[in-house]
Amino acid sequence: MKKFLSVVLIAVMAATLIALGGCSGANQGKQVLRVYNWGDYIDEEVISIFEEETGIDVIYDTFETNESMYTKIKTTGTSTYDVIIPSDYMIKRMADEGLLAEIDMSKLENYPLIDDRFKGLEYDPENKYSVPYMWGTVGILYNTTMVDDPVDSWSILWNEKYARKIFMMDSVRDSIGITLKMLGYSLNSTDLDQLKQAEEKLKEQKPLVLAYTGDEVKDKMIAGEAALAVVYSGDAVTSIESNPDLAYAVPKEGTNLWFDAMCILKDSPNKEAAMKFIDFMCRTDIAEMNRDFIGYSTPHSEVFEALPDEIKNDPVQYPSQEVLDNSEVFADLGESVAYYEDLWVRVTTG
């Protein structure tokens, strides 16, 4: 029996070596770039253009929240991907934990096309780790044929009139953040009493919630499956284009102003290709393709200047200064993030 197993093992190893040899021969010298991005957050034609122009193959995976992305990277290591596209507070956290590589911006030909207003922000004050990609707000997408109340406060999401007609984000920071804002607190609060109040409000709301959603919320709202949904502004743009009965509002209590940016993981095995990809994504024609496809606000100066006035003046895509001044950017919570995560588990599973 042992001899038989040894023969089988030798045969399997030989077959494996032959297969590996064949693969390496076929792909010898071929660069592979692994990109990890939010779902529905790129024009897929852009990836094909990059591959055609550079000869670099792209392996493209998606995530639904910063937290799920972070967990995967921490579990599998920083050599799992080359380029990732997290949000502001997660960039700060990952940089502080040594998970990101420093980027030499002088080697990015198209970096000067990124508007200076989006550089040197608190999450990356020295522009060491990130290149801006998109930005926007969080608000309420609502169906005007189903909602006959003013949508000017987060409190409408607690209105029993809309029971089982509400979609909340399946997102720790976003759902807790808007609840804190409704209560009059900072969405970056680490005060335990304030967080306890937010937890009780979310538990109070839970019977009214149809579902805690991710990327699928756009299709559900377009189809008229609910009256109200918490969404990112770009998702609102896409949804409204498909269903003109939908509208978007940023509540008076204020909201999250967020920034997403491109980063390179510290142990990326292909940093040269990662730099090429980031520079390519900052090229004017490519940045416009992505902006047009996903509907988010662009930090690219040439792309913005070329927009028609109707888009520049659209309060969903480019909110007023008053709205911006009344918004907050998520901060890295440090050790308090564990409390947020436990709170969210208690809400969603309790």
Amino acid occupying residue 198: A
| CATH number (domain holding residue 56) | 3.40.190.10
CA nearest neighbour of 294 among 36, 35, 44 = 44
Give a yes or no: residue 198 inside a domain: yes
89-137 confidence digits (pLDDT tens): 999 999 999 999 999 999 999 999 999 999 999 999 999 999 999 999 9
Domain co-membership, 40 together with 91: yes
Which two structure tokens, joined as six digits, stand for 59?
Answer: 């392996």
DSSP class of residue 77? Answer: -
Model-level pTM? 0.89
Domain co-membership, 147 together with 253: yes
Domain co-membership, 92 together with 177: no
Domain co-membership, 169 together with 243: yes
201-211 confidence digits (pLDDT tens): 999 999 999 99
DSSP class of residue 106? Answer: G
Phi, psi of 137 (to 5 degrees): -125, 175
Give a yes or no: residue 202 inside a domain: yes
Give a yes or no: residue 12 inside a domain: no
Model pLDDT, residue 294: 95
What tens-digit pLDDT sequence spans the chain (350 residues)?
333 333 333 333 333 333 334 333 344 568 999 999 999 999 999 999 999 999 999 999 999 999 999 999 999 999 999 999 999 999 999 999 999 999 999 999 999 999 999 999 999 999 999 999 999 999 999 999 999 999 999 999 999 999 999 999 999 999 999 999 999 999 999 999 999 999 999 999 999 999 999 999 999 999 999 999 999 999 999 999 999 999 999 999 999 999 999 999 999 999 999 999 999 999 999 999 999 999 999 999 999 999 999 999 999 999 999 999 999 999 999 999 999 999 999 999 98
Name the burial class of residue 22, with classes exposed (0-12), middle (13-18) and buried (19+) by CB atoms within 10 angstroms of its CB. Answer: exposed
Domain co-membership, 106 together with 56: yes
Q: Which residues of 232-270 are buried (b: 16+ CB within 10 A; e: fewer)?
A: bbbbbbbbbeebeebbbbbbebbbbbbbbbbbbbbebeb
What is the residue range of 237's domain? 137-257+325-349
Domain co-membership, 127 together with 150: no
Give a yes or no: residue 305 inside a domain: yes
Give a yes or no: residue 11 inside a domain: no
Domain co-membership, 200 together with 333: yes
CA nearest neighbour of 199 among 43, 346, 38 = 346
Domain co-membership, 274 together with 243: no
Name the burial class of residue 190, with classes exposed (0-12), middle (13-18) and buried (19+) by CB atoms within 10 angstroms of its CB. Answer: middle
Model pLDDT, residue 106: 97
Give a yes or no: residue 9 inside a domain: no
Give a yes or no: residue 194 inside a domain: yes
Domain co-membership, 340 together with 239: yes
Domain co-membership, 206 together with 338: yes
Domain co-membership, 225 together with 292: no
Model pLDDT, residue 18: 35
Q: How many residues does the chain have?
A: 350
**Structural domain count of the chain:** 2
Give a yes or no: residue 95 inside a domain: yes
Domain co-membership, 242 together with 163: yes
